[in-house]
Chains A and B, each alone.
Chain A
Amino acid sequence: MDSNKKYGADLIERYLYAVAKRLPKEQRADIEKELAGLIDDMLAEKAAGGEPSPEDVRAVLLELGKPADLAAKYRGSKNCLIGPDYYGFYITVLKIVLAAVAGGLAIALTIGAIAGGRGNLLEYFGNAVSNLVSALFQAFAWVTVVFALMQRYNAKIDEKGKQWNPSDLPEVPAKKARIPKSEPVAGIVFTVLAIVLFNGAPEIFGIHWFGETHAFVPIFDMDVFRSMLPFINAVFVLGIVKELFKLAIEKYNLKLAAAVTAINIVSLALTLHVFASPAIWNADFITQLQAVQSFAMPADFDLVYHWGRVPHYVAVVAVFGCVVDTMTTIAKGIRYGRGR
C-alpha cells in the first residue's frame, strides 16, 4: 500500500515537472503549486475520501491532458517562429531584400572584375560566388530574426494601410495552367552557368584562402570528379531538355507531366550514381581543412563522421527534390487539363 502511495506521488511529481519545464521561468513555481493543489482536489474527489490509488492518479493526469498541451494552453500557444499575421509580409520583405542583395552585389562584383588588378580572374570569380552566397544567407537570417522578434513581442505592422488592389487578385486556373516563360528561361540560364562552372572551373568547389599563400581544399576528389563529368553533364543536359519541354508545351498538362517524370527519373538515377557514392567526395576534406586552418574540433559534433555521411544526405535531398518536382508537375497536369 505504501509503495502504491509513493508511486502515485512520484507520478504527480513527474507530471508537474513535465509541465513546468515548458513554461516561462517566472511562472513555473506558481503554476506548479496551483496545479499540485488542483491534482490534490481532483484526487480527493476521485477517491471519495479514501486513499487515492495509482489508478486514480493516472485517471486524473489523463484528464488534465498531455503535459505539452497543458503547457501550451498556459503559454497561449504562441508556438511559431513567424505566425500567420506576419507571414505574408515576411515573404514579401524577404523577396525584396534577397533580390536587392543579389542584384547589388552582382553589379559591384562585376565592376570589380572589370576594374581588375586582382590577379587570377577565375579566383576572383570563385570568391565572388562564395561572397554572394554568404551575403544571401546573411540577409535571409537577419530578415528572419527580425520577424521572429516582432512575432515574439507582438509588434504591430500596419499592413491594413495598404490599399487593396483588385488587380492583385490571382489569375483564374485556366491562365494559371500556363507556365510563364521566365521560369524555364531562368532554369536554362542557371543550368548553363552550372555547366560552365563544373567544366571550366571545378576549382571553385572547395574552400580557398587568399592569404600570403593561396591554400585550397577541394570538396571533391578531383580525379573521380573528372571521370564523372560526362554523367554530371548528362544531368544538366537533361535539365535543359526539361525546361525546353516547358517552353514548347507552354502549359501544365499530362504530356508535360509524362516528359518531366521520365526525365526526372533518369536524372535522379544519374545524380545518385555520381554523388551518392563516397568516391567522388574528398575523403580527407576535414583533415586537410585542419591542416590549413587549425581549428578545434567541436566536441559534440563529429565533423569527420558527418562528412562521411554527406553522400547519404545528398541522396536524401536529391530524392526529395525529385519527388516534389515530379509530384507537383503531375498534380498540375491532372488539375489543369488533359490532352492538347
Chain B
Amino acid sequence: MSDEQIDFVQGLVSELRRGTLTISVLSQLTSPKYGYALAETLEAKGVPIEPGTLYPLLRRLEKQGLLTSEWETAGTKPRKYYVLSGDGLNIYRQMCAEWKTMAENLNNLIEREEQ
C-alpha cells in the first residue's frame, strides 16, 4: 500500500472510532474514575483516546447530564472523578443495544460480500 493509501485508511478508521468514543467512555464509568486513570484503562483495553480529546468529552457528557463529577481532594493531588448518572446509565444501555444491532447488520453485509 502506498503512503497515501495508508493515510486514507487511517483517516477512515479514526472517523469510525470517533463515533464510538462516547460508548467506550461510558462503558468504563459505572464506578467513579478520574480522567487520566480512565485514559490508562481504555488504552490497556486497546481503545486509546488522547487526553486532549477525552477531557473535553468528559466535560461535555457531564454537561449533557450523562455523567456527574466530584473533586476528590483527600489524596496527594486533587482529582476530578466522573461517574455515570442515572440517565447516563439508561442511555449507555440503549447505546449498547444500538451498537450490537449495527455491528450485526454490518457483519452480515461484510460476510455476504466475502462468500
Contact = CB atoms under 8 A, between A and B. Distances in A.
Give chain A's interface secondary structure class. helix
B59 A31 contact: yes
B50 A37 contact: no
A69 B55 CA distance: 13
A38 B36 contact: yes
A38 B34 CA distance: 9
A37 B79 contact: yes
Interface residues of B, number: 15
B51 A63 contact: yes
A73 B80 contact: no
B36 A37 contact: yes
A284 interface: no
Nearest to A40: B77
A57 B56 CA distance: 21
A298 interface: no
B78 to A, nearest CB: 7
Given A40-B77, A41-B36, A42-B36, A34 B55 contact: yes
Interface in A6-30: 27, 30
A74 B59 contact: yes
A336 to B, nearest CB: 32
A35 B80 contact: no
Interface in B1-20: none
A33 B51 CA distance: 15
B75 to A, nearest CB: 10
Given A37-B80, A38-B36, A38-B55, 5 more contacts: A30-B80, A35-B55, A37-B36, A64-B52, A74-B59
6 contacts: A37-B34, A37-B36, A63-B50, A65-B50, A65-B52, A73-B52
Interface of B: 34-36, 50-53, 55-56, 59-60, 77-80
The 9 closest A-B pairs by CB, nearest first: A73-B56, A41-B36, A74-B56, A65-B52, A64-B52, A34-B80, A70-B52, A37-B77, A38-B36
